[in-house]
Structure 1
């Protein structure tokens, strides 16, 4: 039972990262209509920015949770204004090739500068230690990661589904030209949305830094899994990304207990089954 509970906790942690990253991907795809394969590299960049801030300037974890997403978000604005906007409205293959190339360039730049070995990022003192729940011991930091991810995901869903800004975003996805005729600056809104999506990836990177070693490949392994999560939940579906991310994280953890040899492929098996039954995804619109 301790092994089972430990794997469920590990699944929740992985699910937290799946949910946050797939949520950013879903937001970007919903408004821009592009599959952002540079997302994993920007997740890694967020972790590296936190490490650089601590190593060079002595800026700790809590400030990095604010500064790293801001810095990466600004980089996202530059990327969207200079490169991404040139492939909007074109065939999806153009965006795939562009964002994949950007991911390789960013990863290569960090690998050449810092090497491939992982860099240690210390858990903040206020979150060190663990809580004995009786049936398992839960590290404080792991609990914080799950709680922070849930809060960000739910807050994002509320903004998009329950506010005027969210209504405008949803309207832009349906008919951008009509929304612009009402005086809404659609290009600025698109840039803001892309920056927000990549800032969420950077926030997840800072959360991941004390758990995983900070290294140039840390976003590569997540990229394919997160894309599968988005497909299963439904391309562009906010709720689908959140629910599917956490659910598949737990499922992956349980599979490691009962069928370890299938744990690395269970998410893709679920994707195959879902696409066979419902090609638009569990929460996506039907074709």
Structure 2
């Protein structure tokens, strides 16, 4: 049971990061390799607010994602949009370079040594068979609420209808008189804000260092491929599932715990190239 909870908590970070990637790819068709760097900036933002200005965790949890969302919208306006008419590979290379730049800027200022961040909750929750840290339980609950809220907004609201229409049929959406361009920067910023939100949640649990995003982003890309590129439901489901499978593999087959996600990705690509919940027509 403890390993199951560990897997679900780890999967919550994968799900939120994969959700942000899916939103960005679905709206812009951009594979955002800088997503891990934005996750790292979220954790460092919370750390700097606490150490430099004494801002507590709960304020940082609200402020840092908003700041990163605005920064992400600016990145889309200034950089991503200029290459939108070119091959998607150019934006992939751009975001890859941006990730390296952000990592090196933070590493130059703070080095590679991990920075501590005290957990805002030190209590434990008694589940009968075992006890579990209250903070990890809170992280799992918050991630479920966030993922459900994003899904509801995109599936049940007028904004969600416009975003999904612009994602699947941008030219037809424009023909109906909707300015698709006005939604692109906010949605890119929203995806970046999700990465920053996950970073703030991770700060008390994981080592805050410049490389924390780079170590995770490859796994997140595998999760998105398994769930289906651009699929909100698929990304979230695959995130939690991969976290759970990895935790159980670490218990029963430790030698495969670090590679099982890539084995699953290869199997899914061979069996269903669009991913478990992706649209096959996008790949024909």
Question: 2:185 aligned with 1:191, yes or no?
Answer: yes
Summarize the alignment of residues 153-232 of structure 1 with structure 2, pairs less than 5 Å apart: 153-232=147-226
Q: 1:103 aligns with which of 84, 99, 105?
A: 99
Question: 2:116 aligned with 1:120, yes or no?
Answer: yes
What displacement does 1:14 show?
A: 1.0
**Does the 8 A contact of 1:33 with 1:89 survive in 2?**
no
Q: 1:276 aligns with which of 263, 270, 273?
A: 270
Q: For 1:81 and 1:109, how far apart are their aligned partners in 2?
A: 22
Q: For 2:28 and 2:213, how far apart are their aligned partners in 1?
A: 22
Q: For 2:26 and 2:129, how far apart are their aligned partners in 1?
A: 42
**Does the 8 A contact of 2:33 with 2:96 survive in 1?**
yes
Tell me the equivalent position of 1:246: 240
**Does the 8 A contact of 1:172 with 1:179 survive in 2?**
yes
If the length of structure 1 is used for normalisation, what is the TM-score?
Answer: 0.96
**Does the 8 A contact of 1:29 with 1:235 survive in 2?**
yes
Tell me the equivalent position of 2:18: 22
Tell me the equivalent position of 1:79: 75
Superposed CA RMSD: 1.0
Tell me the equivalent position of 2:6: 10
Question: 2:33 aligned with 1:33, yes or no?
Answer: no
Q: 1:150 aligns with which of 144, 148, 152?
A: 144
What displacement does 1:188 show?
A: 1.9
SS at match of 2:187: helix
What displacement does 1:185 show?
A: 2.9
Tell me the equivalent position of 1:92: 88
Q: For 2:125 and 2:168, how far apart are their aligned partners in 1?
A: 47
> How many correspondences in the alignment?
281
1:32-78, Cα deviation, whole Å (9 max, x unpaired): 00100000000000111111111111111111111000111111011
Structure 2, unpaired ranges of 5+: none
Q: Which moved more, 1:128-137 or 1:18-27?
A: 128-137
Q: For 2:84 and 2:167, how far apart are their aligned partners in 1?
A: 13
Q: For 1:38 and 1:67, how far apart are their aligned partners in 2?
A: 20
Q: For 1:268 and 1:25, how far apart are their aligned partners in 2?
A: 18
1:94-135, Cα deviation, whole Å (9 max, x unpaired): 1111000000000000000011001111111xx211112121
Q: For 1:56 and 1:33, how far apart are their aligned partners in 2?
A: 38
Runs of 4+ aligned residues of structure 1 deviating over 2 Å after TM superposition are 174-185
Q: For 1:266 and 1:107, how far apart are their aligned partners in 2?
A: 27
**Does the 8 A contact of 2:74 with 2:185 survive in 1?**
no
Q: 2:52 aligns with which of 51, 56, 63?
A: 56
